[in-house]
Amino acid sequence: VFIKKSSEFPTSNLPMTALSDEQPGGDNTSDGELSLGEGAVVDLGVGEEPVVANPGRPNAQFDPFFSAVVKEIGAALELPLEELLLHYSSSYSAARAAMLQAWRFYSLRRWWLACDFCQPSRELVIDEAVARGLIDLPGYSDPAKRKAYCQALWIGPARGAIDELKEANAAGKRIEIGVSNETLETAAMTGEPWQQVFRQRVREVEQRRKHNLQALPKGGLENPPEPEPKED
């Protein structure tokens, strides 16, 4: 609470803090400051008016201000507003465009991590293993063969999709026209190596065929078991 004094405030009138020690039985403090109390009635001087401080919180303009600041931060980081706030309130196309723009940023940082840390660490481990005789790699001293031995495909977490069916159809079309392959599409959609997924799929298909449970595209059975002959 503030005390507002008008222009007609008399010079002989003292501030309330100067009179706090002279009020018997008042809610006074030891340092001479006057504090507020429950149900207290205080007489103000001539030309004085109490004014309550209003911080204006919560403010209705906070959300536009915060969104504007986040947009500027996102522009510096090359990240859309939706990705920073994890709030996708627009259409499918706009949300997917925001995710793709964000993954350009993530892919670049992932490539930096793989080139500057993951791949050098892998090569140092293989170098030490060859030097100690733990593994035998013929021609490892040749730089070309060493590069072939140390070559690796670094697969990170999957990107994810808003509409799984559309993403799967797009992946199949890219493979069909020859601009991508199953290894890259598997890594992008599931984050798993294609070889591991393929081997597991082969085991599953063989197991289904073994028990005559191979499903057809329409949901039938490829080799349904023959009915047993009825006894007369």
pLDDT tens for residues 70-121? 999 999 988 998 888 888 887 888 888 888 888 889 989 999 999 999 999 9
Which residues are CB-neighbours of 113 under 8 A, at least 6 positions away? none
Q: Please give the pLDDT value at position 159.
A: 80
> Position of tokens 């593994």?
135
* Centroid of chain to Cα 162: 15
pLDDT band for position 189 (50/70/90)? Answer: confident
Angle 133-134-135 from CA coordinates, rounded to 5°: 90
Which of 21, 159, 25 has its CA nearest to residue 83?
159
* Centroid of chain to Cα 17: 54
For the ranges 11-20, 80-89, 141-150, the lowest mean pLDDT is seen at 11-20
Q: In Å, what is the CA distance from 70 to each residue of 50, 75, 90, 92, 95?
A: 39, 9, 17, 22, 17
Instruction: Give me the mean pLDDT over the 181-197 stretch.
Output: 87
Question: What is the pTM for the complete model shown?
Answer: 0.55
Instruction: Give me the mean pLDDT over the 164-187 stretch.
Output: 90
pLDDT band for position 219 (50/70/90)? Answer: very low
Q: Which residue has the higher pLDDT, 187 or 217?
A: 187
Per-residue DSSP letter, 225: P
For the ranges 43-47, 160-164, 172-176, the lowest mean pLDDT is seen at 43-47
Neighbours of 214 (CB within 10 A): 16
pLDDT above 50: residue 217: yes
Q: Are the CB atoms for 198 and 183 separated by under 8 Å? A: no
Q: Please give the pLDDT value at position 221.
A: 47
Q: Are the CB atoms for 218 and 225 separated by under 8 Å? A: no
